[in-house]
Amino acid sequence: MNALNDSNALPASQARIAVVTGAGSGIGRAVAVELLRTGWSVALAGRKPETLEETAALVPGAPSLVVRTDVSRPADVAALFDAAREHFGRLDLLFNNAGTFGPGGVPVEELPYEAWLHVVNTNLNGAFLCAQAAYRQMKEQDPQGGRIINNGSISAHTPRPLSVAYTTTKHALTGLTKSLSLDGRPYRIACGQIDIGNAATDMTERMRTGALQANGETAVEPVMDVVDVARTVRHMAELPLEANVQFATVLATAMPYVGRG
């Protein structure tokens, strides 16, 4: 189905431009498809152009741009936002989604520094670089303003066992979200965060076979359809800039989160 013919699509006069990082799989792909399907133009960013092309092909005819990007590299991030601006003219939304869990199940005392640094560079430094580039463009463009949505995680609130690098970066993203939200007020730049729990993606496949719990047991955990995450992001994205969802938590209803541990 062509996104421009979808009954939920935005009128041409209201077409909006988004950058989605980590758009080649999982939550990033689902959000990119939801936006493309409903009339947005989307720059698809990720490390593997072939998977980005696959994402674009899921909505034939929709206006997309594939940009190979490693968000931990400042030059890549600058090139991404330059390409999006040159191709689409402005920027209305950054979905700051690219991330990695890193080596799961490794005790703190055994975690290699290189593994820690890889997670921090991707999840935190990458998110900052993309937010900074988006902020600059949103501040300078006419009409001024736009929206940044950071992909936090349930782990921005409550850790899983043996996840120190991932959990630390996700807690830090909350601080990034709050600072951007405050500093963006004079320039009509809104910033919110979506904290997602157990959306059905490759990253959460292990939940279906058993995940380590805080009491040391292994238990199968419920998951939810990633499409419901994408719809939540689109709702946040399409609010007028006078309104903002500061934090949203969307999760599998019965997963161990409330009272986890």
Please give the positions annotated as active site.
166
Q: Which amino acid is at 254?
A: A
CA–CA separation, 187 and 48 (whole Å) = 34
Element (H, E) at 116: helix 113-120
Beta strands (DSSP E) in 118-169 are: 146-151
* 3-state DSSP assignment of residue 245: coil
Tokens of 257: 């989160």
**What pairs with residue 193 in β-bridges?**
150, 247
Spatial neighbors of 215 by CB under 8 A, at least 6 apart, are: 261
Residues in the chain: 261
Q: Which amino acid is at 68?
A: R
Chain position carrying tokens 């600059």: 136
Looking at residue 142, the DSSP 8-state letter turns out to be S
* 3-state DSSP assignment of residue 11: coil
Q: What is the dihedral of CA 6, 37, 137, 247, to 10 degrees?
A: 110
**What pairs with residue 223 in β-bridges?**
none
